[in-house]
Structure 1
Amino acid sequence: MVDFQSHYRVYPHGFTSDPPRVGVKTNRELYHEEGRKVFRKRHDRPVHDCRHEVMKDHTDRQEFETWVLSHGMTETYRAVEDLHDKSEEPTPGTKKPDKLLYKLGETGSAPGDFRYPRGLCTTMDCDILVADSMNHRVQHLNQYGVYKKHVGKQGQGNEEFNEPCDVLELPNGDIAVADKKNKRVQVLTEDLKFKYSMPIAGEPFSLGCDRDMNVAVATTRKEIFIFNSYDRVMLHHFPVGAKGKSSGAPIQISMSNDSEILVSDPEDGHVYLYTLEGRCFCRFSPEAHSAGLSVMAGDVCFTPLGQILVVDVLNHVINVYTDNGEFLQQVLVPTDDVGSVHSLALGLEGHLVVSEFSVGGDHCIKIFRYRQCPCHEGKTPGSKKRTPVASPNM
């Protein structure tokens, strides 16, 4: 007879009860037991410990999983240090030439120095124009990084700027400057003299142009305005990037000669391709150069072959992709002395020019060897900490 209410089984010679139930051990308990067997030299924790179990698991190095975690982090840190270490001498005949040609400027307001250089471009004469944002000016350097002249100061008048964020040479030689806080695009002559300005309904942040003089202006609110520099009239206006996002991270754009607008949205990590009328015909998420890494897309630009250069600001890497987003190769890596890259431009002579700045780091311009160039066929020159200043006769 079985009494289902009391769970006792009654037999003629007495009664028995069900054996007590024992719970299954958790993974943490199994780890602890195995850890005491594997690491026998490590003593058990004291009998009395008032800390919470979570604190015991994550702070006590005598625990098995905590030791494994700390050991793994140590090995990861050591592997990263070895990756950045360039002291080891390579085998004779296998050393590749350094890609860094020049490091230009320091944080400051002197000629050739920079404070938040947010935008730059290369001209048809292979010179370099830099939008020196917090110095409220545009600086002009030659292809070797020698300072030539600058234009601008803080203000609202002609040839005056308020945080210029980008600069671009137009096909006719004019210079367009994204004058952010003044909400306009100033167009200068090739001698950096004022020509005209175009008001923008927003704060312009990035610029692009095609062979037909159609200028694309990306604002901090993820909008693109298109105007023609010949007619000086606004043609199109459309939003870009991910919908429903905040305006905390401005987009950066580039434009091909065929009027394709390349857009990098760092908020959602995607790269878009738009037509001049605002139709998105391609979108891809940049693939990392190594498995398991995340990519935060920064500035973008087209190469002469129609490929796409994308700055990976998270890993301090610049990669090359096809026009449909397929990863091709790395161009620059941290061992090439790449820092916090904000913008990049590819010169006709084969130089890759980038601007770098960070809150506690350098504000500078770096010139890298992208392909073999006639101006540096011999030995690679050493990088410079200060920008050389040209003589008045140059």
Structure 2
Amino acid sequence: MPIYPYEKSGKEHWYYAFEVKESNGKRKTIKKRGFKGKTEARKAEAEARVQWEKGSYIDPSKITLGEYITIWLENKRDISPETRSTNEGHLRNHILPIIGSIQLQKVNVSDLEKLIKSLYDKGLAEGTVRKIYNLAYTCFKVATKKELINKNPFDLLEKGDKPKKHRAKFDYWSSEEVIHFFSVLEHRQRIMFVLAIRCGMRRSEICGLRWKDIDFVNKRLSIIQTLRPKQGLKIGTKTDAGYRSIALSNTVLDELQKHRKLIVEERLFCDEYHDNDLVVCQSNGLPVSLGNFDKFWKRILSNTGMRKIKFHELRHTCASLLLSASVHPKVVQELLGHSSITMTIDTYSHLMPNMQSEAVNALDEMLK
């Protein structure tokens, strides 16, 4: 059996190697390293033999970056459909035209510098440049781990040549603006904005919320289902931390009760009602249209005369108001469903100087 062990960094790894005859009669060895176990190597060797016999085998030493990164992305399972679509667009529009035709093993640091320069020359936002950079970097990291290349060319980039990580900029309303907004807001979907500002919920979470996910007795709601642009209603959240329980104030409970009364009345007068148990829905029970959501939000801003911010920044408004009231960042993290408290602090650290003042003053009192 053409499966062989070798040692790397003090650990046993495996590779396969077998001979084949090309159409011109010459013999060549097909070899691939980087497998952590014998079973994994044996399976890969069998697949390589089948591909060779079908004529679809691609020699790792000749495969282009475009061929490899396309296959790698297709086989990647730990991303959402939205992220996959975004990555495919970055690949098609930015990576492949610049370095896609270069053989994977021949991509060098100059090629990467050329790629990064092209992204900035297009005037792309810093965040977009970093996402494209991270996509290519992760691909090469995997290729290095699988020993398809000896060294990751990204490791040779000078620090100044890498896209800089900037703190995301966002806007939010003050408490006075929020109070005014709700005093002039008249809309059947008022509850949507209540949940965004008072509970810090994402749009996908609000539009996927069901009545059965709300516990009126214990004053809590659970984030279990979301509404996604391409997937529709789906059990699951943006991240594992997105699965969470949110405490409801009496104000939010009152707003939910009023909205449920409206939904019940609409259902009685609708000839063909689609019962999805949704809190936020169209008058016939169907999920709201996310395709027209930006226009909907702009109309709300226009009708209420409010200062323009993004709908997602209502969630930032919630976090900002809580932190300005000296609520602990850990509580804010759990409410918003951030994956870590580090993310919360990095995003909102500029809003916490008053917390530092209170901390040093409290220490003064303690040590008097």
Is TM more than 0.5 here?
A: no
Q: Tell me the TM-score normalized by structure 1.
A: 0.26
Q: Tell me the TM-score normalized by structure 2.
A: 0.27
Structure (1/2) with the larger helix percentage: 2
